[in-house]
Amino acid sequence: MGTADPLLDTFGRIHNNLRVSVTDRCNIRCFYCMPEHPVEFVPRAEILSFEEIERFVRIAVRLGVRKVRLTGGEPLLRKNLPSLVRRIAAIEGIDDLSLTTNGVLLAELAQPLYEAGLRRVNVHLDTLDRERFVQITRRDELGRVLDGIHACRRAGYDPIKINAVAVKNLVEPDIVPLARFGREHGVEIRYIEFMPLDAQGLWLRDKVLLADDILEMLAREIGPLAPEPNGDPRAPASEYRFTDGAGRVGFIGSVSRPFCLSCNRIRLTADGKLRYCLFAIEETDVKDLLRGGAPDEEVVRVIRSTVRAKWIGHEINSMQFVPPPRPMYAIGG
Ligand code: SF4
C-alpha cells in the first residue's frame, strides 16, 4: 500500500488530524486531570526531540495528515517551542496548525509563536472567578491567563477559543459569565463535558454538566442560539451562534453526544507512543523507530497498522468502559 493511500480505519474513517503532545509536564494542577502530589513525569531523555517530532509529522503528512495540534501537559513549558512551531509550519501540506494551552505563559509567548507561524489557539479556562480558579487548578494564575488571551487578540490569532471543562455542581456559576466574556471579546467558548481521564479516578457520570443543560442555561440567561454548521464536519464540537449575532459557543459532548463515528484523530504522546484514541488502552511505540534509524517506510507501516487497529469509539456510556492507563496530562487533549 503506497504512501498516497489515505489513513483509513476499518470503519471507513479517514485520519487527517494529528495531536502532538510535546511534554507531560504542567504548571497548574487541575483536580480533574492530575493530582497535586506526587506526579511522576517522563524523564526528559525519553521525550521526543523537535527533530523526531518534525520527522514524524512529515511522514504523517505524506499519509494525508493536514491538521496538527500541539498539546501537553502544558506545551508552553517546552523550551524554544516557537522553533518547533516554525519547523511544523514549514511542512508543505499542513493547512491547520493549532495549540492548546492553559494560558499561564501565553502573554510572553503569544507574539513569538505567531511570528513562528501559529495562527489559532485554544486556551483552557473554566472560570473567570479567581477563587474558583484556585479551587480547580490549585494555582493562583487567572490574571496571567487573561493577559495571555488578550495578548493573542493583539497578535491577531483567529480564532481564539476557550476550552472550559464542565464539571457539575462546580462550574454552573461560570457558564454564563464565560459566554458573556466570549461575546464581549470575540472569542469562542467551548464547553467540554468532563471526561473520565483524570489521574485520581474522580469521574462519575453525575459529575458531568451536560451540553444540553448548558445550552438551556445560555438560552435562558443570554438569548436564543441557533446551530451553526461546522466548517469541518469531523471536528468534535457542535457549534451554535447567538441569534443576536454576538458570539458563538461550541460543545464537546463526549459523554452525551459522542462523535466517534466521525473521528479523524490520532495522537502522538510526548514519549513517542502512537494512540488511535484518547481513551485507547493500547498504544504503539514509535520513539525507538525514530531514534533507532528505522526507514520512513517502517514508521509508515506502524502508523497504518495503528489506525487499522482503531476501535469504533470510547465506551464511556457502557458497562465495559475501562479508563485508559494514561491520564489526560500524559496524553494531551
Ligand atoms: S473518543 Fe476516541 S474515537 Fe471517539 S472521538 Fe475521541 S479520539 Fe475519536
Residue 6 lies in a domain: no
Strand order of the β-sheet with 284-285 is: 225-228, 238-242, 248-252, 188-193, 160-166, 120-124, 96-101, 67-71, 17-21, 265-268, 273-275, 284-285
Nearest-atom number in ligand 1 for the CA of 312 is: 3
For the stretch 34-85, pLDDT in tens is 987 788 999 999 999 999 999 999 999 999 999 999 999 999 999 999 999 9
User: Is residue 7 a part of any domain in this protein?
Assistant: no
**Residue 281 in domain:** yes
Output the ligand 1 site: residues, CB below 6 A: 259-260, 263, 265, 277-279, 313-314
- Position 141 in a domain: yes
Q: Residue 64: which domain range?
A: 17-331
pLDDT of residue 13: 97
Per-residue pLDDT band at 1 (split at 50, 70, 90)? very low
What is the tally of structural domains in the chain? 1
In this structure, which residue's CA is closest to atom 2 in ligand 1? Answer: 277
Residue 3: per-residue pLDDT: 54
CA atoms lying within 13 Å on the CB side of residue 300: 15
pTM score, two decimals? 0.95
Minimal-distance CA residue to ligand 1 atom 5: 260
Q: How confident is the model at residue 230 (pLDDT cuts 50, 70, 90)?
A: low
Q: Residue 9 has which C-alpha cell?
A: 480505519
Q: What is the pLDDT of residue 37?
A: 76
Q: What is the pLDDT of residue 69?
A: 98
Residue 324: inside a domain, yes or no? yes
Instruction: Tell me the average pLDDT across 158-186.
Output: 97
Task: Please check whether residue 302 lies inside any domain of the structure.
Answer: yes
- Tell how far the Cα of 277 is from the centroid of ligand 1, in angstroms: 5
CATH of residue 110's domain is: 3.20.20.70
Residue 202 has pLDDT above 60, yes or no: yes
Lowest mean pLDDT among 2-11, 63-72, 188-197, 318-327: 2-11
Ligand 1 centroid to 156 CA: how many Å? 31
Confidence of residue 4 (pLDDT cuts 50, 70, 90): confident
Question: Average pLDDT, whole number, for the chain?
Answer: 95
User: What pLDDT does 231 receive?
Assistant: 67
Please enumerate in sequence order all residues whose Cβ is within 8 A of that of 47, keeping only pairs 6 or more positions apart, or say none: 22, 23, 270, 271
Decide if pLDDT at 17 tops 90. yes
- Out of 69, 257, 265, mutate this one to test ligand 1's pocket (max ligand atoms within 8 Å of CB): namely 265
Q: Please indicate, yes or no, if residue 35 is contained in any of the structural domains.
A: yes
d(CA 198, CA 200): 6
How far apart are alpha carbons 262 and 252 in whole angstroms? 13
Residue 74 in any domain: the answer is yes
The answer, yes or no, to whether residue 2 has pLDDT greater than 60, is no
Q: Closest ligand 1 atom, CA of 263? A: 8
DSSP letters for 229-270: --SSTTSSPEEEEETTSS-EEEEE-TTTS--GGG--EEEE-T
Looking at residue 229, its pLDDT comes to 75
Using CA positions, which residue lies closest to atom 4 of ligand 1? 260
Q: Mean of the pLDDT values across residues 273-288? A: 97
DSSP readout, 281-317? S--EE-HHHHHTT--HHHHHHHHHHHHHT--S---TT
